[in-house]
């Protein structure tokens, strides 16, 4: 494997549950050291994609490589280099928190006890408590600790913040992801799916938006922010009806016109300015707004 | 559809499969298949349906309405609905009664038909009521269907054995006194009422306190174990493989509990003299002993299904597959551990208790019935393997155990169908078989025919099981690795390969056996004709001459008695040397034959004449040589013909 080898390369992946196609012809590449977001509505195919990546599901067609390795052929090699947090976290009910972490540690060559203790303290998890007695959020916290401590090259997170309270969510993003990516062992890659896009706004380097199993948009986060702009214009009277090429959506609220532009922001801005608005502002869209605008359009 | 009927439809849907399986079992049990008592013999397997349905099926039906809520973690949702808990309880009880009542009635009738119950009929009914009530309360205590069933079994296992002991001690002139029956029926009815009341109280006060409110006592700590065991069972940060084994120990907690119960039940059976040496009293108290065997069967099924079934229920299975350990290794660990647990708990414990008791009295095997030890072992392993396969195919322990029974039935049916098809095909291809018969030299032992004829039942079973076992293992491995589709239709589809293999294997074996049998029959037919001709010639020679060696040709034989064209064909140009013998034999003095290289059968002498003993050698121009030896029964018209050919 060379430095240029992507952490994940998915080419033309198709998977179906019976006759229902969950993922259709999906292609994406995640470079090492990046935080890659997989966004989509419920049932868009995010979890299916991740399960294919982990060789839990056998794709109907397409190719998957993790660090250049085929998970269907060298499953264990792939799994040695990644840690996964599923969307529905479950533990053995008889095990305590301590025992659960020991159990997961036994499968790993490396386990960072310092990070483990640090995160246990931060999440205020009692290591003698039984896993069956943990709340949904606490179980997610425990799963995150189990995923971060082995310090693998790739972290695959399926809805990692669902069930977490806002404080823990922020803590998780700032501390857990931060601690993971700032580690000494080399560039660490994160591949995550989430609904709560705004929470990961500053972390995501690149993303793909899935809709009904199809990739509708794949962009670098910065490029997306450059490309997708929100143009707001306030007029003295009823806003004019404009026909604008490159506009994803045009919305009129009272005397205000709100346009979401996809790559054609300067031309649209010029066109709107020509209508002499009282006020005109242009701002970048957040990733969540891009997600909503893309799926609505 | 009203709101109430929507709720009822939901309950009915959940119970439909187990109820159908139990009822089907009841209908099958109505037809007495075997009255030989309870044994592990494959022939008597169907006779197990009756006690199995009665003591496992019906309590399971009682446990399911509440157990399903625990299994699917929907109880919290149900309790949060704007319905009074008392109404919910009533609803659950109504559906339980609706499911249990017809099944109980059916099984009671089956009991009456099979075991000719008369006095004990109402007693059996009260036992079913008590077990049903125990199952409901057990489910609430254990917070799982399997847990409820295990607790219910505990009651059955020990309670029934104790009651049987008392019944035996009160028995006079072969009858149990009515006073004893009625008083114990009253006690049981009270017991059932108390359990239902306690169950209702538990349900009304139920608090889903912890995160998962999951499988109650199954998850309870290991505080009952000694410290060293607790320490060993605790997962360590190193030694992943050992941790997997430790995990399996925990997952099979219910099996250990039932194994302990099985140990006590068998011990009590011996202590109370409900099982005696050489099985001489077995028939007198068949139910307690049968119940103990059912417990072992339940253990075998649970050993196969519990581990993966519970993992799938909790949702831990998929996550385990993402760990850096080969999923195939995880599959092997689960399978081997399940088989070992089954061997230990379902076979070694009951046999150990029985053999130990026999050993104390000086004859270790005296307490076993006439079934060989390996049959116990094989049948327990097959049950475990089947349950393991089902747990890979469907989601949850209960579904896996339930799926095992129709699966067993379907495989049996497929076997019967394959055999019927094989016999049918051979019957339709009679001209082809005739051509084959005309080409097989009856005076030369054909290796192929010998090989097939010489196969014992074990070999037939092995030939049948080997492809099925290989396919089941490969399929379960594949399903273990891709645990996604748990729809019923998918589960049904999974059974097709195994059923197809079963049909094909039995078809093939039946065809081969049928052809080999017919070839052998034709060989025997030709030999019989030759014998009859020799007897006719010898009988007429005996009247005039002293016994001496004679040489015959095929024409001589044909002149003596009419020969079939096939016999004439094979005897043509043969040299037949016959030596009269003076000896006669009785059945007890016959020498042993070397099956299948040597044949022996009863054969008539010449019509209307005394049979004459002789030995003959038939040498054909094709180089085959066949020795016939006929011992006439002293003064009789028939005797024993021995045939050995090269």
Q: Does residue B596 have a cis peptide bond before it, meaning omega lies within 30 degrees of 0?
A: yes
Determine the distance from the C-alpha atom of residue B546 to the mean position of all C-alpha atoms in its chain, rounded to a whole number: 61
Question: Residue B212 and residue A106: Cβ atoms within 8 Å?
Answer: no
A111 vs B contacts (CB less than 8 Å) = 237
Judged by average pLDDT, the poorest of A34-38, B116-120, B159-163, B499-503 is B116-120
Predicted confidence at residue A191, as pLDDT, reads 94
> Is pLDDT of B609 > 90?
no
Predicted confidence at residue B212, as pLDDT, reads 46
> Is pLDDT of A25 > 50?
yes
d(CA B402, CA B145): 12
3-state secondary structure at position A150: coil
CA count, 13 A, side-chain hemisphere, A12: 4
Question: Rounded to a whole number, what is the distance in Å from the CA of A68 to chain B's nearest CA?
Answer: 17
> Is pLDDT of A211 > 80?
yes
Domain ranges of chain A: 8-212, 224-296
d(CA B413, CA B420): 10
Torsion angle in degrees (nearest 10) through CA of B163, B168, B172, B177: 10
Fold annotation for A8-212:
Rossmann fold (3.40.50)
Query: With bands split at pLDDT 50, 70 and 90, how would you rate the model's confidence at A13?
Result: very high
**Which of B147, B243, B322 to mutate: most A Cβ within 10 Å?**
B322
Query: With bands split at pLDDT 50, 70 and 90, how would you rate the model's confidence at B214?
Result: very low
d(CA A292, CA A246): 17
Question: Rounded to a whole number, what is the distance in Å from the CA of B398 to chain A's nearest CA?
Answer: 19
d(CA B138, CA B219): 15
Scanning every residue of chain A, which has its alpha carbon at the shortest distance from the alpha carbon of B221? Answer: A94
Predicted confidence at residue B43, as pLDDT, reads 46
Q: Which of B219, B234, B253 sits opposite A99 (nearest CB)?
A: B234
In Å, how far are A56, A147, A158, A193 from A85, measured between CA atoms?
Answer: 14, 7, 6, 11
- Please report the number of interchain residue pairs, chain A to chain B, with beta-carbon separation below 8 angstroms: 104
Its ipTM equals: 0.76
The bridge status of strand A35-40 relative to strand A189-194 is: parallel
Question: Residue B324 and residue A76: Cβ atoms within 8 Å?
Answer: yes
> Is pLDDT of A3 > 60?
no
A76 vs B contacts (CB less than 8 Å) = 324-326
Q: Which of A232-236, B175-179, B440-444 has the highest mean pLDDT?
A: A232-236
The tokens for A85 are 């947090």
**Which DSSP letter does residue B633 get?**
P
List all residues of chain B from 195 to 214 with a beta carbon under 8 Å from chain A. Answer: 210-212, 214
Q: Which residue has the higher pLDDT, B591 or A292?
A: A292
d(CA B307, CA B301): 11
d(CA B154, CA A281): 76
A74 vs B contacts (CB less than 8 Å) = none
Q: Which of A75, A76, A93 sits opposite B215 (nearest CB)?
A: A93
Judged by average pLDDT, the poorest of A58-62, A169-173, B29-33 is B29-33
Question: Residue A95 and residue B221: Cβ atoms within 8 Å?
Answer: no
Question: Residue B212 and residue A93: Cβ atoms within 8 Å?
Answer: yes
Predicted confidence at residue A239, as pLDDT, reads 83
DSSP string, B507-538: HHHHHHHHHHHHHHHHHHHHHHHHHHHHHHHH
3-state secondary structure at position A286: coil
Average pLDDT of B225-254? Answer: 87
pLDDT averaged over every residue in chain B: 81
Q: Which residues pair with A40 in a beta bridge?
A: A210
Q: Which pLDDT tens digit goes with each residue over B398-411?
A: 888 888 878 888 88
Judged by average pLDDT, the poorest of A117-131, B496-510, B578-592 is B578-592
d(CA B562, CA B565): 9
Query: With bands split at pLDDT 50, 70 and 90, how would you rate the model's confidence at B344?
Result: very high
Strand order in the sheet with A154-158: A82-85, A154-158, A189-194, A35-40, A206-211, A214-220
Predicted confidence at residue A192, as pLDDT, reads 92
The reply to whether the predicted model has a pTM over 0.80 is no
Average pLDDT of B302-315? Answer: 90
Question: Residue B323 and residue A111: Cβ atoms within 8 Å?
Answer: no
The tokens for B428 are 């339709």
Fold annotation for A224-296:
Alpha-Beta Plaits (3.30.70)
> Is pLDDT of B112 > 80?
no
Whether B471 contacts B501, CB under 8 Å = yes
């Amino acid at each position: 494997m060379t430095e240029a080898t992507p952490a994940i390369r998915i080419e033309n992946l198709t998977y179906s549950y019976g006759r229902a196609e969950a993922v259709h012809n999906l292609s994406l590449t995640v470079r090492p050291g990046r935080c890659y977001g997989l966004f989509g509505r419920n049932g868009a195919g995010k979890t299916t994609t991740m399960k294919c990546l982990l060789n839990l599901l056998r794709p109907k067609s397409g190719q998957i490589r993790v660090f250049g390795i085929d998970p269907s052929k060298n499953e264990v090699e792939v799994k040695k280099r990644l840690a996964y947090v599923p969307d529905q976290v479950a533990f053995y009910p008889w095990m305590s928190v301590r025992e659960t972490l020991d159990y997961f540690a036994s499968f790993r060559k490396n386990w960072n006890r310092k990070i483990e203790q640090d995160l246990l303290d931060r999440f205020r998890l009692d290591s003698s408590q039984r896993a069956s007695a943990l709340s949904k959020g606490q179980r997610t916290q425990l799963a995150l600790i189990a995923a971060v401590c082995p310090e693998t090259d790739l972290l695959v997170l399926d809805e990692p913040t669902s069930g977490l309270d806002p404080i823990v969510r922020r803590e998780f993003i700032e501390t857990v992801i931060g601690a993971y990516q700032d580690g000494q062992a080399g560039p660490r890659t994160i591949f995550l799916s989430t609904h709560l896009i705004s929470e990961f706004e500053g972390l995501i380097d690149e993303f793909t938006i899935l809709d009904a199993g199809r990739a509708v948009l794949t962009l670098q986060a910065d490029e997306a922010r450059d490309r997708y702009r929100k143009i707001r214009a306030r007029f003295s009277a009823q806003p004019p009806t404009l026909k604008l090429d490159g506009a994803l959506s045009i919305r009129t609220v009272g005397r205000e016109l709100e346009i979401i532009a996809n790559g054609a922001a300067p031309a649209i801005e010029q066109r709107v300015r020509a209508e002499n608005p009282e006020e005109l502002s242009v701002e970048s869209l957040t990733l969540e707004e891009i997600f909503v605008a893309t799926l609505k359009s | 559809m009203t709101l109430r009927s929507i709720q009822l439809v939901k309950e009915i849907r959940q119970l439909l499969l187990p109820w159908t399986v139990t009822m089907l079992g009841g209908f099958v049990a109505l037809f007495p298949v075997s009255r030989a008592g309870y044994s592990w013999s494959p022939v008597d397997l169907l006779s197990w349906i009756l006690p199995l349905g009665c003591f496992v099926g019906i309590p399971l039906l009682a446990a399911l309405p509440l157990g399903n809520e625990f299994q699917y973690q929907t109880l919290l949702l149900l309790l949060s609905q704007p319905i009074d808990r008392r109404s919910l309880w009533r609803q659950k009880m109504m559906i339980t009664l609706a499911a249990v009542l017809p099944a109980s009635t059916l099984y009671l009738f089956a009991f009456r038909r099979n075991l000719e119950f008369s006095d004990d009929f109402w007693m059996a009914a009260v036992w079913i009521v008590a077990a049903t009530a125990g199952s409901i309360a057990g489910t609430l205590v254990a917070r799982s269907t399997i847990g409820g069933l295990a607790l219910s079994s505990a009651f059955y296992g020990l309670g029934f054995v104790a009651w049987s002991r008392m019944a035996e001690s009160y028995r006079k002139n072969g009858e149990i006194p009515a006073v004893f029956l009625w008083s114990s029926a009253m006690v049981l009815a009270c017991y059932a009422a108390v359990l239902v009341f306690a169950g209702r109280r538990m349900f009304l006060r139920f608090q889903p306190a912890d995160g998962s409110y999951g499988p109650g006592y199954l998850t309870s700590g290991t505080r009952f174990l000694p410290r060293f065991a607790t320490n060993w069972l605790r997962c360590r940060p190193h030694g992943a493989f050992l941790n997997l084994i430790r995990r399996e120990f925990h997952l099979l907690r219910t099996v250990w509990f039932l194994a302990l119960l099985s140990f006590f039940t068998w011990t009590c059976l011996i202590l109370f003299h409900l099982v005696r040496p050489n099985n001489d009293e077995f028939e007198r108290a068949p139910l307690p002993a049968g119940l103990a065997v059912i417990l072992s069967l339940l253990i075998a099924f649970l050993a196969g299904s519990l581990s993966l079934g519970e993992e799938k229920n909790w949702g831990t299975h998929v996550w385990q597959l993402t760990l850096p350990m080969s999923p195939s290794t995880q599959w092997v660990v689960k399978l081997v551990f399940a088989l070992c647990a089954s061997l230990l708990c379902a076979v070694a414990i009951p046999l150990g208790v029985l053999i130990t008791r026999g050993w104390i009295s000086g004859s270790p095997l005296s307490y076993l019935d006439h079934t060989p030890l390996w049959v116990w072992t094989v049948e327990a392993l097959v049950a475990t393997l089947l349950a393991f396969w089902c747990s890979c195919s469907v989601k949850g322990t209960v579904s896996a155990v339930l799926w095992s029974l129709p699966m067993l039935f379907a495989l049996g049916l497929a076997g019967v169908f394959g055999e019927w098809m094989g016999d049918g095909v051979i019957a339709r291809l009679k001209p082809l078989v005739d051509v084959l018969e005309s080409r097989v030299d009856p005076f030369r032992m054909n290796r192929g025919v010998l090989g097939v004829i010489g196969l014992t039942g074990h070999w037939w079973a092995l030939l049948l099981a080997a492809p099925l076992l290989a396919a089941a293992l490969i399929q379960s491995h594949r399903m273990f690795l891709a645990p996604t589709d748990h729809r019923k239709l998918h589960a049904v589809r999974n059974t097709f390969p195994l059923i197809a293999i079963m049909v094909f294997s039995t078809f093939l074996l039946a065809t081969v056996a049928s052809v080999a049998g017919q070839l052998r029959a034709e060989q025997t037919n030709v030999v019989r004709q030759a014998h009859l001709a020799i007897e006719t010639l010898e009988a007429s020679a005996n009247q005039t001459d002293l016994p001496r060696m004679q040489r015959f040709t095929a024409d001589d034989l044909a002149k003596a008695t009419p020969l079939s064209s096939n016999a004439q064909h094979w005897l043509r140009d043969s040299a037949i040397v016959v030596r009269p013998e003076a000896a006669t034999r009785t059945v007890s003095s016959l020498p042993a034959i070397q099956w299948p290289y040597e044949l022996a059968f009863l054969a008539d002498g010449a019509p209307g004449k005394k049979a004459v003993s002789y030995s003959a050698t038939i040498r054909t121009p094709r180089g085959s040589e066949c020795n016939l030896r006929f011992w006439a029964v002293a003064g009789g018209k028939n005797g024993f013909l021995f045939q050995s050919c090269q």
